[in-house]
Structures are given as structure tokens and as C-alpha cells.
Amino acid sequence: MDFPTLLQRYFGTPDLEAVDAAALADGAARMRVDFGLETDKGRRFALWTLMHMLGVAPDIDVAFKDAAEQEAARNFMDIAASLEEPKDG
């Protein structure tokens, strides 16, 4: 799953800035359902990372029962947070 494909699937466009609040809520609801039904670990992780970036992801301990998956999710969160931090200079 690549990012533009996920955006197209859940929001009808690969341009997230073009998505209004109602479409964002609808897409997030569909992602939650698909996340709950998905059995492929890679696809689940991809969905969770997108949900995390949008602020609608379930907590790590709820989303992932496997310790390695939880650690990968924490690592992703750390990397994402470091990219959001303002750079001095």
C-alpha cells in the first residue's frame, strides 16, 4: 500500500488538502473498519500509520498484540514526532 493509493481509497483523492471535514471523518471511519478486519500485518501497519498521521489511530496496545509490532509502531511515532519538531537554525 502506498500513501497516494490509501488516500484515494479512503478519501477519493490523493490530495489530502482537498478533503473536507465530512469526507475526512467518513474516510477515517472506513479505515477503522478495514483495520479491524485486516489480517495481513503489513497492510494493518500501513493503515495504522495513516490513521496515526491523521490523529485517529487506536492506541498501540489496542492495535497490536505482538510486542515487535508495538515496538515498530513506537519507532514510527518517534520518527514522525522528530520530523514535526522545529529545527533551530
**Residue 73 main-chain phi, psi, to 5 deg:** -65, -40
Which residues in the chain show pLDDT less than 50? none
Q: What is the pLDDT of residue 33?
A: 97
Residues 41/34, Cβ–Cβ less than 8 Å:
no
Q: What is the pLDDT of residue 89?
A: 52
Q: What is the pLDDT of residue 44?
A: 95
For the stretch 40-64, pLDDT in tens is 999 999 999 999 999 999 999 999 9
**Residue 11 main-chain phi, psi, to 5 deg:** -125, 0
Residues 35/73, Cβ–Cβ less than 8 Å:
no
Every domain of the chain and the residues it spans:
3-84
